Structure 1
Amino acid sequence: MKIHKEGRRILFFTLLILLALNLLLYQFNEQAEGFNRVFSAVSVIAFLLLLQFFRSPFRNLLTHEDLVIAPADGKVVVIEDVHEPEFFGDVRKQISIFMSPINVHITRNPVSGTVKYFKYHPGKYLVAWHPKSSTKNERTTVVVESEAGPLVLFRQIAGAMARRIVWYVNEGDEVSQGEEFGFIKFGSRVDIFVPVDTEMKVQIGEKVKGGQTVIAQLKTQSSGLF
């Protein structure tokens, strides 16, 4: 396991600040030895929590042209047919994955293909499970024409704790299934929109791993793995 590039600068400066605060306490607050020890313990715990948030574990990626792979770690909280207004303007099947602060926050391409549409939306920071978070919160929208044919839309959605979404794709890019397309800092959600006749491979409440868990199978003329 390694530390993701998005966290290295934050971790470095956090470590410097915590070390400086602890040194100052031990130098100028020698009488409160008990408090100093507690503060040191809290500092170590806080840094370790931040460290695990930015972890980037090795993954054996699963790839297949007609499969939709989980774009992030987390729990499936929505599977329903909804009207998607931004790009399709019709009914699509939505799958939403909620990412808690303890999940890996790397976001991955659920399919391989060509990026046909990309847009960043500044917005609010409602809790990620709020029904309006997908249209009101800070977010990105990516649409990929998959190798299997159907267009797949997916969104990074900032949560109540998130204050920055990072993306690595633009319109016209060729993307590969399982590769990183971005990162969301401190709690978030990813929505995926597929054709309504797509076969679901997960259920609400199921925990998934980005780049590894099959969440759906697209309808194509060729036979798939399942």
Structure 2
Amino acid sequence: MNAMDVVMTPINKEGHRFVFIFLLASIGLFFLAEPLGWVSLVLTAWCVYFFRDPERVIPDEQGVLISPADGIVSAVVEATPPAELGMGSEPRTRISVFLSVFNVHVNRVPAKGKITGLAYVPGKYLNAAAAEASEENERQLVRMTTEEGHDIAFAQVAGLVARKILCDLEVDQEVERGDRFGLIRFGSRTDIYLDKGQEATVKVGQTMIGGETVIARNK
């Protein structure tokens, strides 16, 4: 992404307040000490970059799940789904995507379907790349039934510097693949738990584009 792309990319509504605060601070610091003003202006530019919300080309292929976030696949493992969602104790394939502070942090729904459960779990702020973050960190859990009838879950997991998870979904809400549903400030991770009859199509270390990259498909 070049500088012009960044300038032209819309900012998510959750970022407007932060950009305004950073900009006011920059103006004030220019009057107090010009070098500090320039530093603050650089931080303002980073804030705009962090809250960017680019349009994405959503795949229309049937029977696929898309990545709920930008980032790097940090794990593809078998894990028990979150107990708070009541999905049983049988292990499922869990794909984790780690987001750095330089990734787009707007999250997207991985499939068309219906939201069937939500659970917020307070917790720690361990490194989001750590395996234990899925069970110990603050997280927002979502359960849904896809249009093909698959029972899946996905989670927004806070990280070392993330202190706010935003989720706009509601139980019984009908959603489309690629819909924006939330955001995590300022560095985090997303997990997605697959159903039987679905298989991961990504590997550890692979780069994800939220809303575009196919992360799993029906067998």
Tell me the TM-score normalized by structure 2: 0.91
Moved more, 94-103 or 116-125: 116-125
Equivalent of residue 44 in structure 2, options 47, 57, 72: 47
Matches of 1:96 and 1:63, distance apart in 2: 23
Partner amino acid for 2:104? V
| Amino-acid identity (%) | 38
AA at the equivalent of 2:22: T
Computing the radius of gyration from Cα coordinates, the structure with the larger value is 1
1:188 is aligned to: 188
Q: Is the 8 A contact 2:76 2:93 kept in 1?
A: yes
- Whole-Å separation in 2 of the counterparts to 1:213 and 1:2: 21
1:169-216 CA-partner distances (Å, limit 9, x unpaired): 011111111011111110000000002542221111000101100011
Contact 1:167 1:182 in 2 (8 A): yes
Counterpart of 1:185 in structure 2: which amino acid?
R
Query: What is the Cα-based RMSD across aligned positions, in Å?
Result: 1.3
Contact 1:91 1:196 in 2 (8 A): no
Which aligned runs of 4 or more in structure 1 are off by greater than 4 angstroms? none
C-alpha separation between the residues in 2 aligned to 1:173 and 1:188?
Answer: 25
SS of alignment partner, residue 215 of structure 2: strand
Counterpart residue number, 2:4: none
Give the structure-1-normalised TM-score. 0.88
Is 2:26 the partner of 1:18? yes
Give the gaps of 5 or more residues in structure 2.
1-8
> 1:66-215, aligned counterparts within 5 Å?
66-86=63-83, 87-88=86-87, 89-215=89-215
In the alignment of these two chains, the number of paired residues is 208
For 2:14, give the aligned amino acid: E
| Segment drifting more, 125-134 vs 78-87 | 78-87
Deviation at 1:140, TM superposition (A): 0.6
Counterpart of 1:5 (choices 7, 13, 16) is: 13
For 1:197 and 1:113, locate their aligned partners in 2 and report how far apart those are by CA, in whole Å.
Answer: 17
Matched residue, 1:30: none
Q: 1:167 to 1:152 in 2, by over 3 A?
A: same
Alpha-carbon offset, residue 12 of structure 1: 0.5
